[in-house]
Amino acid sequence: MTNEPLKILVCGDVEGKFSKLFSKIKNVDKKSGPFDYLFCVGNFFGTDDKEFEPYKSGKMKVPVPTYILGPNDSNAVKFYPEVNGCELAPDITYLGKRGLFTTNSGLTIAYVSGIEDSSVSSECQITPEDIERTRNACVKTQQAAYRGTDILLTSTWPENVTKFDNNSIDSCPKGSALISKLALLVQPRYHFFGLAKKFYERRPYKNEATGFGSHITRAIALANADNDTKQKWLFALNLTPLIRMKDTSLNQLTTDTTECPYTAEVEKSQQFFYDMDYEKTSSKGTKRKQKNQDFQQKLQKVMNISQSECWFCLASPKFEKQLVISIGEEAYLSLPKGGLVWDHAMILPVTHYRHQSEMPSSLIEEIEQYPFALRREALRQYYSAHGKKPIFYDRNYKTPHYQIQAIPVPSQKLATVERLFMELAEEKGFSLTKVPESADRKDIFCSENSYFYVEIGKNKFIHHIKKFFPLQFAREVLAHPQILNVMDRVEWRNMEVSKEDETNSAERFRDGFKAFDFTV
């Protein structure tokens, strides 16, 4: 994957003028391209789809992969066969009613189709649930280290978008309070919207800080395609995905930056943030302020979960037994829920222990034997047969049941894995320290300290957590396009896998692993 910025086009309401749209795109692409994506906001279809048929049949080619939003009125519903998104024609994709789209290059695009109007059909109506689900899809992938989303696409204008802006605009639409709330929550770098048949580019505004700084959002309304008043309806930009940016670059402000126009919604919206611990410090915004004592108390509360409620205790009614691969005297091997890849494994104690300092020496020996045997004798050989190497990691932070994760990566990418772990840690405001071979495990895994620990080949690294830590940090690194290229799997809760598929994956793993299992 190249580190070059992506070349992106965004279009306003097409309203069925497909010939003029794609003719324009073809010329722009030839002159200034090649472009990677075209995104369309507002009304994509007009009163009929006559001009769309040649593209649908494949007789006419789409010059740039195109992604569109859904219907804004009942007359357009007929053009969308699947409410949750589908391919409408070769290289023309309907994203869906709401959600987060992550490209292979790591670009994140949040989107919500429709308008805020209770009189329209459900397919066209924006609801609070749409906002919450879209927000969850964005924020849950990054948790406490949430840094924002690259692009937000909505057809509807956000309410109060012109507040604090001195760029003149006539007859500004009232806009949607729900879309304002969404923009406040997901903090896009660019927010595009349409429907008003006019162009408006707001001065950049600064988002509320959510941990390691804050960045600006550029809110842009696009006019309808090929309009008589010659207002701008096509916008081009070069954009480096947020995942590849350091915080120092991301958080740079411009000289014309304003306050966030949606700050009046902060108090009402704070309840949506998970584990961001805002504390009001001034009328101009909020600032994270968390003392270590409060943090440890909160952490202890999260981790004190009873065995009956623990998903990882064998006797728990919530235990997913179909995922188990192998059981030893005091530890067992299992596939996780929502694994990053199908052969992602984890090692856990049978008894309910939160971290190693609580375990008896006999269990420590078996926990040591599992990674050793699996790494040296079993998992290494098992994965090696498929050209892979395991990455082991664990953390004593918001983990109610101790577990060692084992995720296989292509053997030739170990150096890339180590580099990206270091780079992403730096971007998120902490560092990983290399563990000396002579280090005593009792000193490394001190019960008083929360930690994140990772083994990459023969190298071991640790970070002692002082305040906050992104829960999906390791998954985010390993899902990176340069490694496993599965950014849509960073947050395991967003993955829908049936018990039948889980059972099949476990059986497949178990059959292949049997020859290397020292417990058999």
- Strands 37-40 and 6-11, by their bridges, are parallel
- Supply 404's token pair: 């060692």
- Residue 159 has a pLDDT of 93
Q: Is 455 helix (H, G, I), strand (E, B) or coil?
A: strand
**Nearest residue to 332 (alpha-carbon basis) of 385, 374, 376, 303:** 374
Q: How far apart are CA 192 and CA 220, in angstroms?
A: 5
* Complete DSSP assignment for 352-373: --SSGGGS-HHHHHHHHHHHHI
Q: How many CB atoms lie within 10 A of CB 14?
A: 26
Q: How far apart are CA 21 and CA 10, in angstroms?
A: 11
pLDDT by position in tens, the chain (length 520)? 456 899 999 999 999 999 999 999 999 999 998 999 999 999 999 988 889 999 999 899 999 999 999 999 989 999 998 877 888 999 999 999 999 998 878 899 999 999 998 888 888 999 999 998 898 888 765 544 678 899 999 999 999 999 988 876 778 888 999 999 999 999 999 999 999 999 999 999 998 765 444 789 999 999 999 899 999 999 999 999 988 887 777 888 888 889 999 875 444 444 333 333 333 333 333 433 343 444 334 334 433 444 445 556 555 555 677 888 887 666 678 888 888 999 999 887 776 566 665 565 555 555 555 544 554 567 778 888 888 999 999 887 666 667 889 999 999 999 999 999 998 888 888 889 988 876 655 556 555 568 889 999 889 999 988 767 888 899 999 999 999 998 888 887 777 778 888 889 989 998 888 877 755 5
- Residue 419 has a pLDDT of 93
- Supply 204's token pair: 């950049």
Q: Which residues are within 8 A (CB) of 171 and not within 5 positions of it... i.e. 6 or more apart?
A: none
Q: Do residues 406 and 374 make contact, with C-beta atoms less than 8 angstroms apart?
A: yes
* Complete DSSP assignment for 42-54: S----S--GGGHH
Q: Do residues 337 and 383 make contact, with C-beta atoms less than 8 angstroms apart?
A: no
pTM: 0.55
For domain 8-288, the CATH superfamily is Metallo-dependent phosphatases (3.60.21.10)
Is 188 buried (19+), middle (13-18) or exposed (0-12) by CB count in 10 A? buried
Q: How far apart are CA 34 and CA 8, in angstroms?
A: 9
- Residue 310 has a pLDDT of 55
Structural domain boundaries of the chain?
8-288, 301-516
**Nearest residue to 467 (alpha-carbon basis) of 447, 445, 452:** 452
- Supply 268's token pair: 């009402």
What are the C-alpha distances in Å from 98 to residues 36, 78, 143, 323, 468?
Answer: 22, 18, 20, 31, 30
Residues in the chain: 520
Q: How far apart are CA 233 and CA 320, in angstroms?
A: 52
Helices and strands, counts by H and E, the chain:
13, 23
- Supply 334's token pair: 């299992």
- Supply 445's token pair: 């895994």
Q: How far apart are CA 348 and CA 442, in angstroms?
A: 19
The domain over range 301-516 is classified in CATH as 3.30.428.10: yes
226: left (phi over 0), alpha (psi -120 to 50) or beta: left
